[in-house]
Each structure stands twice: as structure tokens, then as C-alpha cells.
Amino acid sequence: MKKKSICIGILTILMLVGMNFSTAETIKNIPVEKTSNFSIIYNESEYTLHDPFTILYDAGFNLPFIKGSGTSSDPYIIEGLLIKERAKRNGFMIGLLGTNKHVIIKNNLFFLNDNNHNVYDEIGIHSSKNVRIENNIFIGPEIGITLSESSNIIIKNNYFNINERIFMFRQESILKNIEISDNILTDHINLYGVEQCLIKNNLLFDRIILNEITNLQILHNVILSSPSQGIDSDTIFGDVKIKSNLIKNSISSGIKIYSCSTDNMIIKNNSLISNGFAGILSSYSNPKINFNNIVGNGYLEDFHTNGVCIYNHGDIDYIDARNNWWGSVDGPSGEGSGSGDGVDEDILFDPWLSSPVNIVPCKPWKLFFYNNIKAGQEYEYKFVAYDPNDEPIKYKINWGDGSPIFTSNFYPSSEKVSFKKTFDSKGDYLIKVKVIDEFGKESETLEIGAPVKKSKSTITPFTNLLLKLIEDFPFLQRLLNL
């Protein structure tokens, strides 16, 4: 009995030591945080290093790593690649030319570390349709995505840490049905010559530049610290909606509108806060500006107003800017008699609001990119969200695995938050996240796919040694009644 107890004790110690080594090995697999202008969590080892390539026409999809058949129900999928800088200059990292096949480019890492500023297009799409670019990471000093003569393009849930243009849509080309949504961008979006364009729920640390756009929606974006205007629009046609955006701390105007030949431009439910010049600068345009918060914007020399300013009237008699909050209960200054942000002449501003417009919070952004979640392992899920009224917000998370819905405490708007989660079993889960302000207004829901894989066996060299001892020394089996 004594010998048996000694053997059990020795084997137990070996097992405990083995488990400790197993835990240390698992922790190494947890993705580490990479630091950039706006830090995210990702793990470079989850991607497969690959050379840049270009797909020419439909026959070009005959590559071993591309899955699918190119139909709407079974699209071609380009996934899990790590493409770094290369010796070849002036080419694409991924090029897609001359195809109407359905394609998804997702879960890839594009990483350039070259400040020579040669022309790189990390993804270049020309004369193609039906392409979805989602959940990719772009890091480097060059253009992120270039489109020309293409249609039905969705750019969604990507992270761009680029030091030049994010999207340069080439001039003298026609683009149709373009959606840019749920991205984080450290530089600007540049759109030229687009029919039917949706820009929604992007977090930008720069501006949106628009030229010759027909039928445009700019909704629920956060635009911070632009070195110029927050939204810089020139020659816009058709139906235009600029709604529920937060534009703050731009060097120049929050929104500049120039030569927009439409009577259907609606600017509504935006917060235009602390921009260097006017909240809105209009020239040769006739926007309808209602139910916005226009507060704390600066003055430009030769102008006596900082809220809504008309640079050139053109054929416009007046601009409708009624029912806005100007930052003071006594209304706007300038042509108004109040002390809020000012209005220019030929602007209708009465009545005005006596309190801020409560604008719905923007959908949160995820600050993590996990391609290989392991069951039984704890991960950090990091988010950021903004309330256009700068009010506290709380998070509501449905993890999609049957566990109780999680509701956080309130956090300040713009504060980055982290939550820990372990999925117990493998499966394809859908995480749903929204934020709620103090008045109960809810954002739209952020949906995040979470493919969870079964953890690898935790058998370590110590455990193998233990099994080998039991196999080689039968008396241990007899003592342990194995």
C-alpha cells in the first residue's frame, strides 16, 4: 500500500508538471497586440506567406489555394494569406482584372514596410464585378485599394493603417454600386466617378473626398482630426443623404459642399463639433440642413460666422438650416441674435432647437482579427464605439454559443474596452455586439463570425514519458490497478 501511494504521488507530480508546460505552450498561441496608430490584436502566424499575384479573366482563378466555383452561392474565396513587400515594383499584391465571377477576399494580412513611395496597390480591381473585400488588415505606406471600371463592390470590416490614400478610384472610369462600411481607416477615402455609393459606419482619422458622385449616402461615420475638411464634396448629383455622422476636430470645415447640382441633399442628425472653420461650408449648392448639432466650430478670416456659411450663392436664394442646435438656447450668432455657432446671411435658421439632438450611437468597431480560435482557450475581444453626443455607452454582446447575453457597465464614448471570452466547444458562432446610450437608444448590430476549432491534444512530452513508464514497467500498472 505504501509503495502504491509513493507511485501515485510520483505520477501525480509528473502529471502536474506536464500540465504546467501545457499551459505555457497554449499561452504562446494567444495573439499578441501589434501597435499602430490605432492598435488592434492579430497574430501573424495565423496567415500563410504568399507571393503577390494577379488574376487575369475567369481562367486566372485556377490556383490551388482558391476555393469555390465563382457563383453567388459558392463564390471564389481568397483567404488567410500574408503578402509582404516584394522586389517587383508598380504591381498589385492581389490584382483582379476582367472578371464578373463572385469573389470574396477575406482574412488576409497585407504588410508593407517600404517608405520609397513607389506605387503599390495592395488590392487592385479593374473591369470586374461582384467582389467583396472583408476582414483584412492593411499595414504600410501606400494605397490600400484601387478600383476602376468595376461594379457591385463591397469593402467591409477591414483595418487600414496606411500613410497615403486608402481608396483611389481612378479618374475617367465608371464605378457602380460601391459600399464602404464598418472599416477603420487612418487615412482618407477618395472617390471619383461613382454611381450609387454607400459610405456607412466607418471610423476615419482623416477625410472623405468626393467628386462626381451620383446618388450618395454617408451614414453613421465617425470622422476625427481630418487635416482638411471632414467631408469634401464636389459635383454631386441625384439623391444625397449625409446623416447621423460625428465630424470633430477637422482642421477646416466639418462638411464642404461645392457645386452640388441637386435639390435632394439632406444633411440631418449629424454632430459637427469643434472643427477649425464652419460646421458646414456651402458653395453653389442647396442643401437642407436640419436637426444637427453644430457646436464649437471656429472662424475663418473674412467670414463672420462659424456654424453654416455660404461661400458663393450661385442661383440659390437661401439655405434651409432650421431646427438645429447651435450650442446655446438663445440660438445662433452671426445673422442670428444668439450666442451659439453663427449663421451667414440668406440662411433660414428660425426656429432653432433649445437642446442637443440625441443622435443614435454609431455601431461599434472590433479591434481584433482572429482567424483561428481554439475551443477552451480564453481570448480578448477588444472594441471601440462613439456616441455623437459624447454620452456614456454600454455594450450588449450575444456570443452566439447559448451563453447568457452580456451587458457591460457604461463607458465613456471613444474609450477602448476589452472583454474576455472562452468558447467551450468547436463550431461556427456569430457574435452580435451593439452599444446603448443612457437614454436607451441602440446602435445597429455589429456581427462577427467566430469559427472555433477543437483544441489540439494537450499531451506533452511529460505525459508521453508517463505513458511510456507505465508501458515499460508492468509493475506500475499492477500497483495502479490499470
Share of the chain above pLDDT 90, in %: 59
Tell me which of 314, 348, 382 is where a domain ends. Answer: 348
pLDDT per residue over 350-396, tens digit each? Answer: 999 999 999 999 999 999 999 889 999 999 999 999 999 999 999 99
Residues 15 and 110 in one domain: no
Q: Which of 291, 313, 348 is the last residue of a domain?
A: 348
Q: Domain check: are 49 and 198 in the same one?
A: yes
Question: To which H or E segment does residue 222 belong?
Answer: strand 222-224
CA distances from 295 to 51, 185, 270, 361 (A): 50, 25, 11, 18
Query: Do residues 317 and 433 both lie within one domain?
Result: no
Residues 423 and 374 grouped into a single domain = yes
In a domain, 354, yes or no: no
What is the per-residue pLDDT across 113-145, written as a single tens digit (0 to 9) for each?
765 545 556 888 999 999 999 999 988 766 788
CA-CA distances (angstroms) from residue 105 to 91, 110, 151, 347, 371? Answer: 18, 12, 16, 47, 14
Give the pLDDT confidence score for residue 259 in this predicted structure: 86
Q: What is the tally of structural domains in the chain?
A: 3
CB-based burial, 182-198: b 16+ in 10 Å, e otherwise: bbbbbbbbbbbbbbbbb
Indicate whether 353 belongs to any domain: no
Q: Residue 258: inside a domain, yes or no?
A: yes
Statement to judge: residues 129 and 276 lie in one domain: yes
Tell me: do 330 and 448 sit in the same domain: no
**236 and 307 fall within a common domain:** yes
Q: What is the mean pLDDT of the chain?
A: 84
Give residue 299's pLDDT. Answer: 80
Q: In this structure, is residue 355 part of a structural domain?
A: no
Flag whether 303 is in a domain: yes
Residue 30, pLDDT score: 34
Is residue 297 in a domain? yes
User: Is the per-residue pLDDT at 112 higher than 80?
Assistant: no
Q: Tens digit of pLDDT for each residue in 56-90?
A: 999 999 999 999 999 999 999 999 999 886 535 54
Flag whether pLDDT at 419 surpasses 80: yes
Query: How confident is the model at residue 405, as a pLDDT?
Result: 95
Distance CA(443)–CA(201), nearest Å, equals 10
Residue 28: the pLDDT is: 29
Residue 146 has pLDDT above 90, yes or no: no
Question: Grid coordinates representing 103?
Answer: 469573389
Confidence band for 21, pLDDT divided at 50, 70 and 90: very low
The verdict on 250 and 315 lying in the same domain is yes
Q: Is residue 287 included in any domain, yes or no? A: yes
Contact between 239 and 218 (Cβ < 8 Å): no
Residue 361 lies in a domain: no
284 and 403 in a common domain = no
| pLDDT tops 70 at residue 172 | no
Exposed (0-12), middle (13-18) or buried (19+): which is 55, by Cβ within 10 Å?
Answer: buried
For 228-287, what is each residue's pLDDT tens digit? 999 999 999 999 999 999 999 999 999 999 988 778 999 999 999 999 989 999 888 889
d(CA 191, CA 240): 15
Domain shared by 342 and 373, yes or no: no
Among 136, 333, 146, 363, which residue's Cα sits nearest to residue 246?
A: 363
Task: Say yes or no: 276 and 370 in one domain.
Answer: no
Range of the domain at 409: 366-453
- The domain that holds 164 is classified in CATH as 2.160.20
Give the model's confidence band at 47: pLDDT under 50 very low, under 70 low, under 90 confident, else very high: very high
**Whole-structure pTM value:** 0.85
Of 44-53, 342-351, 449-458, the least confident: 449-458
Same domain, 374 and 315: no
Q: Give me the pLDDT at residue 387, please.
A: 96
Strands 293-295 and 271-273, sheet pairing: parallel
Whichever domain contains 444, its CATH number is 2.60.40.10
Do the beta carbons of residue 280 and residue 287 sit within 8 Å?
yes
